[in-house]
Structure 1
Amino acid sequence: MTLFEIIILAIIQGLTEFLPISSSAHLILPSELLGWDNQGLAFDVAVHVGSLLAVMIYFREEIIRLTAAWFQHGLSKQQTDESRLAWWVIVATIPAVFAGYFGKAFIEQYTRSALVIACTTIGFGLLLWYADYTAKLRKNIYQLTWKSALWIGLAQALALIPGTSRSGITMTAGLMLGLNRESAARFSFLLSIPVILGAGLLSTLDLLEANIPVDWSAMFYGIGLSFVSAYTCIYLFLAWIARIGMLPFVIYRLALGGVLLGFVFW
């Protein structure tokens, strides 16, 4: 990849990892519009590392509190708000683990087309609009139950289908379950930590087994740029989401899906 391609793809990955607009839909556009090659396994590892560092540093205080509470109260009868929330993150992660293990081969073979990505970008965008439009917005993140966490986790498993958007579908589920916008977003971002970590580890293992030469400068730029763009995205999204709602992202998804459909049929 050229330096320009590295910069653009790293920024795209960092932004779209956490915005409800689908990273897979955006990463297909450079190849469709400009004929760029696939970003490659090593670069994929780099942007995963950058995104993971961003979300862990931003939520470092919550991570410390939840981890300490889980080890102190997680296995006792006297649960605290933090230990319960730590359990709900674990519960919500389980469906994605099973879906990834059993469904990865099928999804990679049958769903990685521009048509599928266009349809899921539009369809799940409309679902996000419906969830936001009808949302009760009454509950905060500590009012989640294990059933709610499981439903959000099942929704997250759908994000294996390209174009769905992991953050988008988990926020959609959170809104449907009565969470306010900020709580739905915060729980979605906390859920991203084990998912990104797992995906990054799997990509690293694949990279080691493939014995592919590594462009270390591309790795450095990928980590740095995806970190900056992802951290900025999380900060601004949480600061604005209560005021702006999901409609701007829905409109964007519909426009993006329309562009992709144009490439498919024209």
Structure 2
Amino acid sequence: MNYFEAFALALIQGFTEFLPISSSAHLILPSAILGWEDQGLAFDVAAHIGTLAAVVIYFRKEVVSLLSALFGSIFKGERSKESKLAWMIVLATIPACVFGFLMKDIVELYLRSAWVIATTTVVFGVLLWWADKNPNLNDSEYSADWKKSLFIGIAQALAVIPGTSRSGATITAALYLGFTREAAARFSFLMSIPIIVLAGGYQGLKLATSSEPIHVGFLLTGIITSFISAYICIYFFLKLISRMGMTPFVIYRLILGFGLFGYLLMGS
């Protein structure tokens, strides 16, 4: 890895982590198509730190409110719409943790391929288009009950398959359930916080017990670039989503997926 690759990969991570177009797919493709070396575990941790900082800082008021309400419900028995939402986010996180733990080896061995990415990019792009056409997009994120949260959580669990897109799967599920586009995006972004914390913590533990060399310059490049690009992405996505809908991302996914199919067929 050189500084250009570190910058490019962190930029990709930041811009695609919260868009419904799959960050994992875009991070795998440079090595599959351009022959870039795997960025390594340390860089993955750095990129996760950057994107986590971006979403936490952007939603800092909501994060403080939800955590306060969550602890208030535990230690004081307080009940509020914020405490309910906090518990629904906790519930929605569980399927991804279970599925990720059970499937991580299978995903690493069999599903990190360009063919899988091309297929899931197209399939979940079509599902996103279909869900976005729901005529009853009226609910806020506070309408989430345990059934809705579990459904969105299962959708998030499917995102361990490269090309699916965590934000794409959760936004698709929320739209299907009748959330407004803004509410679906906010719920998805808030759901990302515990997932990124858990994934980054798991990778950090692996890094701490590995002998992988650490290049401080590459790590700082990854953290700073992914933070700035992720923050910009969240800001503009939430500002524009009500006007543009999901169609631009659906079109992008279809172009990317079918383009990748064409590339693979020509190379076979």
Question: Is TM more than 0.5 here?
Answer: yes
Q: Which moved more, 1:35-44 or 1:84-93?
A: 35-44
Q: CA deviation at 1:134?
A: 2.0
Q: CA deviation at 1:131?
A: 0.1
Which residues in structure 2 correspond to 1:140-179 (within 5 Å)? 140-179=140-179
Q: CA deviation at 1:206?
A: 1.4
Which residues in structure 2 correspond to 1:208-247 (within 5 Å)? 208-247=208-247
CA distance in 2, matches of 1:167, 1:8: 21
Q: Which moved more, 1:20-29 or 1:223-232?
A: 20-29
Q: CA deviation at 1:73?
A: 2.6
CA distance in 1, matches of 2:259, 2:40: 24
Assess if the C-alpha contact under 8 Å between 1:135 and 1:176 holds in 2.
no
Q: CA deviation at 1:26?
A: 1.2
Q: CA deviation at 1:143?
A: 1.2
User: CA separation of 1:135/1:98 partners in 2, compared to 1, >3 Å: closer, same or farther?
Assistant: farther
How many residue pairs get matched? 266
Q: Which amino acid aligns with 2:177?
A: L
CA distance in 2, matches of 1:72, 1:26: 40
CA distance in 1, matches of 2:167, 2:61: 21
Structure 1 residues without counterparts, runs of 5 or longer: none
Q: Which moved more, 1:218-227 or 1:68-77?
A: 68-77
Q: CA deviation at 1:74?
A: 4.6
Q: CA deviation at 1:61?
A: 0.5
Q: Secondary structure at the match of 2:83?
A: helix
1:140-180 deviation per Cα after TM superposition (whole angstroms, max 9, x unaligned): 11111111011000110000011000000000000000100
Q: Secondary structure at the match of 1:210?
A: coil
1:60-105 deviation per Cα after TM superposition (whole angstroms, max 9, x unaligned): 1001001111111356765211000000000000001110111111
Structure-2-length-normalised TM-score = 0.96
Is 1:91 the counterpart of 2:70 in the alignment?
A: no
- What residue is the counterpart of 1:2 in the other structure? 2
Assess if the C-alpha contact under 8 Å between 2:32 and 2:114 holds in 1.
no
Q: Which runs of 4+ in 1 moved over 6 A?
A: none
CA distance in 2, matches of 1:262, 1:210: 39
Which residues in structure 2 correspond to 1:3-152 (within 5 Å)? 3-74=3-74, 79-152=79-152
Which residues in structure 2 correspond to 1:167-206 (within 5 Å)? 167-206=167-206
Structure-1-length-normalised TM-score = 0.97
Q: Which moved more, 1:99-108 or 1:117-126?
A: 99-108
Q: Which moved more, 1:97-106 or 1:247-256?
A: 97-106
Q: Secondary structure at the match of 2:195?
A: helix
Q: Which amino acid aligns with 1:146?
A: W
Q: Percent identity?
A: 56
CA RMSD of aligned residues (A): 1.2
CA distance in 2, matches of 1:239, 1:74: 34
Q: Secondary structure at the match of 1:30?
A: helix
CA distance in 2, matches of 1:28, 1:236: 25
Q: Secondary structure at the match of 1:20?
A: coil
Q: Which amino acid aligns with 2:87?
A: W
